[in-house]
Structure 1
């Protein structure tokens, strides 16, 4: 693994830093975005954490399909403002942060790479060392000036990212179930079924249904309108024991609540839920934005009339903070 670039942007008491990691085992780049409470300087590390940083736990975040961690900066800033180091993992092949030439829609269903990305990042952060490269000193440098309990992780994700962190808590996938569901009339409004052709391709390219993505460092999960409910076995969800907060939109414009977020909330024994039922859509959990991009015909930045994305973030944020501090 190696680091090729570090970029830091100050945001009042919270700073944002981007690190480029590389997983030699999989020959796969993994860019991460970190939000954290910062102090002005330190002598022995790349990232200078403030004295009030919470060291007993940290947050990791997984973005939705074809997205990027920085598209959810409201989440990173919110947790960092409360003292939590928050690490957004950008999944190669999906995320635009690697450049549009590296974006491949089929990667959205090469799902098994996502949880492995996160476990790899946790391994690096747990070592607290940036490995030496041609562009860095011969002696590995400490990443943080303070030691964080990287075995006490709050895993947060939206859409495919929500499904990602749930697999790390023990959920199991059965893509054949998704194909069966997507062939029914009940799935007509489910935009995730449009990925089915890529799903079929993914099944022939390295997916091992017996592969276990469980990572014991994940101690709780927050899933924002999680995807892949139609491909997740009830038995695996019923066996989950860690606390889970499911946040979802019942009047969904992308993932029908009953088959995705609602299914997770009803099936996981230790799940609590926050439901938005006033017309909030699937992409209301992204940062406020002004571009015209769409996913399967649904606008990422434009909400239904009467929906205030900032108010949704405030309500969801309060629920998330209560969940992790409770």
Structure 2
């Protein structure tokens, strides 16, 4: 109800392309070359009545497999953080679909909560996002209802890195080893050490390994990982509109090495939001009491920070940004 109140307030200031009373949802499989198919979730506007359904550890009100409402709908593809899955930002996906967007999120094979076998093969992620866009435009059963000229991308943490690459960024992973020599206490460097991973793992990744997608016209990223690995040259080809979200108390990716280098090195000044008192994982949806007990490291916010209230505003601001940049 809080989300719908915000959307109603937004109607006076933005042109909503296909506002619908409810949200349709489906899970699909996407061909992934010689590997097993990718799994993706799709949220879209519908006039069918939504009901309560489980989505992993969460519950969402959707109409599964319902007919789509509207035409020439903008598409937003979504990339989750390390160890996540396609449902990691379901509340933002719901917000977008309620406002007339189609939101499609992929589970990045090899970097999900149940499969960390290729977590450091970061070049795989942009290619998977590229496959998602192609599937949505060419194969999805409602693909003719999409506007191929209005495609945005949303990413959090490793997903923020992924979206920057998809939008034209070229990181230099050889920067990781010297960075960790100086910042061995950072979560990134500590994780590499405990996993027994050689810090030079990315030194031989050619620029051609990073897949870009010119179909993306607007980008929203939250707490992007490996921000220090791009530099001005590595971000020089990112010409899309970019909105960056930064958690003021991000102890997982401490300032000023992740969000700030991206902000400062983009050729076009981005929109930049710093969320006071927020931690890294406050960009994930609010957890219920059971999940908070199971996963306190990602569910518990700092005292005084109301994640639910923040997400109401966060989703509304993301929606506003995408309305402005995907007219």
TM-score (norm 1): 0.79
Q: CA deviation at 1:204?
A: 7.3
Q: Distance in 2 between matches of 1:222 and 1:203?
A: 28
In 2 relative to 1, CA 202–15 (structure 1 residues): closer, same or farther, beyond 3 Å? farther
Any idea what the Cα deviations from partners look like across 1:198-228, whole Å, max 9, x if unmatched? 6648937994343241111111110011111
2:281 partner SS: helix
Q: How many residues align?
A: 284
Q: CA deviation at 1:191?
A: 1.2
Q: Provide runs of 4+ in structure 1 moved above 6 Å.
A: none
Equivalent residue runs for 1:157-196 within 5 Å: 157-184=155-182, 187-196=183-192
Equivalent residue runs for 1:143-292 within 5 Å: 143-144=141-142, 146-184=144-182, 187-197=183-193, 200=198, 203=201, 207-270=205-268, 271-277=270-276, 279-289=277-287, 290=289, 291=291, 292=293
Structure 1 equivalent of residue 79 of structure 2: 62
- Where in structure 2 are there 5+ consecutive unaligned residues? 1-19, 50-64
Q: CA deviation at 1:58?
A: 0.7
- Where in structure 1 are there 5+ consecutive unaligned residues? 1-10, 130-142
Say what the alpha-carbon RMSD is for the aligned residues. 2.6
Higher relative contact order (CA 8 A, sep 6+): 2
Q: Distance in 2 between matches of 1:89 and 1:124?
A: 11
Q: CA deviation at 1:272?
A: 1.2
Any idea what the Cα deviations from partners look like across 1:51-72, whole Å, max 9, x if unmatched? 3x5x252100000001012121
2:36 counterpart (28, 38, 49):
28
Q: Distance in 2 between matches of 1:84 and 1:273?
A: 23
- Verify the 8 A CA contact 2:43 2:103 in the aligned structure 1: yes
Q: Distance in 1 between matches of 2:201 and 2:176?
A: 12
1:126 partner SS: helix
Q: Distance in 1 between matches of 2:76 and 2:216?
A: 9
- Verify the 8 A CA contact 1:250 1:256 in the aligned structure 2: no
Q: Distance in 2 between matches of 1:204 and 1:275?
A: 30
Equivalent residue runs for 1:277-316 within 5 Å: 277=276, 279-289=277-287, 290=289, 291=291, 292=293, 299-316=297-314
In 2 relative to 1, CA 293–92 (structure 1 residues): closer, same or farther, beyond 3 Å? farther
Q: Distance in 1 between matches of 2:37 and 2:150?
A: 25
TM-score (norm 2): 0.79
- Verify the 8 A CA contact 1:249 1:257 in the aligned structure 2: no
- Verify the 8 A CA contact 2:228 2:262 in the aligned structure 1: no
Structure 1 equivalent of residue 134 of structure 2: 123
Q: Distance in 2 between matches of 1:145 and 1:220?
A: 20
Q: Distance in 2 between matches of 1:259 and 1:203?
A: 20
Q: Distance in 1 between matches of 2:125 and 2:186?
A: 22
Q: CA deviation at 1:257?
A: 2.9
The worse-fitting range, judged by mean Cα deviation, of 60-69 and 266-275 is: 266-275
Q: CA deviation at 1:13?
A: 0.6
Any idea what the Cα deviations from partners look like across 1:96-129, whole Å, max 9, x if unmatched? 3xxx3xx12x522111111111111211222135
Structure 2 equivalent of residue 50 of structure 1: 69
2:272 partner SS: strand
Structure 1 equivalent of residue 12 of structure 2: none
